[in-house]
A and B are shown apart, each in its own frame.
Chain A
Amino acid sequence: MTDEREHLMILNDEEGDLTVMLTGDLTLPQASALHRALTELPTNRDARLDLSGSGRFDTAGAWVVARARQRFAAAGHILTITGANDTTDSLLGAVEDAMPVPATRPKPRTGIGARLDGLGRAVASGARFGMALTGYLGIFLARLGRSIRHPGEFRLTALVHHCHEVGFKAVPIVSLMAFLIGVVLAFQGSAQLRQFGAEVFVVDLIAVSVLRELGILLTAIIVAGRTASAFTAAIGSMKMREEIDAMRTLGLDPAMVLFVPRILALLLMLPILGLIANLMGLFGGALMAWIELGISPAMFYTRLVEGTDIGHLMVGTAKAPVFALIIGIVGCHAGMQVESNAESLGRMTSNAVVTAIFAVIVADAMFSIFFAQVGI
């Protein structure tokens, strides 16, 4: 190929008339070299391009020739093609007909203005997203109210099915997670507290942190990962295949059929999962405290009942319904945003998980501030 480049053209620069002869293949691999060579031609007079000595000729070759002709035409001169056979001629004709209009693509804006523009759009879309979520909360509450007034429309079978999926099937992973967190807390707590000879306070440490914060927060995070993605995938694939539209045409309300059983199942199941997590966390902590510090289960129990206020459990459990609503609404909303392609389904599913976890943590932080202010 490299050798061929030198033989690409012979210039016959006779009096006033420029003849260029192309030799060798005029195909895609040679297109760059050929284009460069033809760009160097002076366009200050008419010229002839002789193809009679050329080899294979493809669309790329035709493009190069067509570009050269355009360049001559722009300079007010003519590049005549000679020696082309029928196939070359027809290809050249097809390419010249299709030569794209020189693109007048708008230049992307740069600078401070564009950045401010981007920031503004991001803030606006964030606000719109928040409003959309609030809207979905409203829809859910309205449909829930409707199903209380018209119990016949409520889908009990679906609710039981989703309770099974969301709650029962999550028990093993939630239990294991909470047990391990209890173990870790006891282990780390005992290492620090031993320095002050205050080993027994490890019970308070475990009880307060598990009951008040970690039990429900980590359960919510696990459920967000499991369930928000499942909701988005299920609703999103129905949206993708126009099943949601089909439901609407059949007089079924997607919010009633799809959202209410799912979110309600989460509302019922998340507090229970949180309680299971609390129990398992305390169990793991007690076990580790016994092994590591010699605090017997009986002693752990006594200290737990005496030293830990029931308020901690209340605070923890009170958050569960809020987390459940957040996870359910984020999951259902993301599912409804899926467009008609598989890529958006994947994108919305991972968005749902990230948003749900983030929102749960933000809500938890707000709860902490609130409870600290009211002094519970």
Chain B
Amino acid sequence: MAGGDRNTDEIVISVRGLRNQFGSHVVHENLDLDVRRGEILGVVGGSGTGKSVLLRTIAGLQKPTSGSVEVMGVDVLSADEETRTALEARWGVMFQDGALFSSLTVRENVEVPMRAVVGLDPEIRVALADLRISMAGLPWNAGDKYPAELSGGMRKRAGLARALALDPEIVFLDEPTAGLDPIGASAFDELIVKLSRAMGLTVFLVTHDLDTLHAVCDRIAVLAERKVLVTGTMKQMLKVDHPWVHEYFHGPRARAALDAAAE
């Protein structure tokens, strides 16, 4: 499943010695993580292990207590404003419920990031927004709708369309299939794979969904004990004998997902 030949060894995200602390509650301690260009990395972990916090830290939405985060060679934490803005145009984030601007239509939402591009004609911007909406698998008339009129799955697709509006190199997905029905979830899995292959994306994906891990991810990173416990492919995960990891990948649900993937 892993498109191994496409992966180069270039590291695009490198986290070193990360520590996140809220009050006296330490979420991450001495956390290291590397993400390679072109791969789809799935981050898993129990509730409250700070998966979303890790995503937010790498995307620069949250300042860690200590440690370093380097994305495409730029130190996210110490970069000046201008470098950061340039960097932010090279990644996209899809939040859990899409986080679409509720006062704008879906098309306007997708246009928002493109408005910053100098010399782009409005008609072309609209046409490109329609293209993204269609590439995200939404029907053509979804562009005129407001987020409140869409179902949860459609909002996620619209959120993905907006995250991809500037053809980023890295896209962060926070629980992309949470709350979707199984058909919608596997369609979304396919969409992620298709788009990431077509556009050469690096995907950083936080998920709970074992089917997604099987269907989509090249590599898996397990967050436990406040750090990235292990990383590796699905096959390697099955051999890890840490109790939580074993339970996660050998539980009844995991086995069902594994059987489904094997078919």
Contact = CB atoms under 8 A, between A and B. Distances in A.
Nearest to B127: A63
Interface stretch (B42-50, B52-60, B192-200, B216-224): B192-200
Interface stretch (A99-107, A145-153, A166-174, A277-285): A99-107
B167 A98 contact: no
Contacts of B120: 28-29, 31-32
A28 B117 contact: yes
Contact of B128 (A63, A91, A340): A63
Given A59-B131, A63-B131, A32 B199 contact: no
Q: Is the interface of B mostly helix, strand, loop or mixed?
A: helix
B21 interface: no
Interface stretch (B132-140, B182-190, B241-249): B132-140
Interface string A100-127: 1101010000000000000000000000
Given A90-B198, A91-B199, A343-B103, A32 B124 contact: yes
A99 B133 CA distance: 10
Given A28-B120, A29-B120, A32-B124, A341 B148 contact: yes
Contacts of A60: 124, 128, 167
B119 interface: yes
B144 interface: yes
B199 A105 contact: no
Interface in B110-137: 114, 117-121, 124, 127-128, 130-135
Interface of A: 1, 27-29, 31-33, 35, 58-60, 63, 67, 87, 90-91, 93-95, 98-101, 103, 105, 339-344
Closest 9 CB pairs of A and B: A94-B198, A58-B167, A98-B135, A32-B121, A98-B134, A100-B130, A100-B134, A341-B148, A343-B102
25 contacts: A1-B118, A1-B119, A27-B167, A28-B114, A29-B118, A31-B120, A31-B128, A32-B121, A35-B121, A58-B199, A59-B132, A59-B135, A63-B127, A63-B131, A91-B199, A94-B194, A95-B131, A95-B135, A99-B131, A100-B131, A100-B140, A105-B144, A339-B148, A341-B102, A343-B102
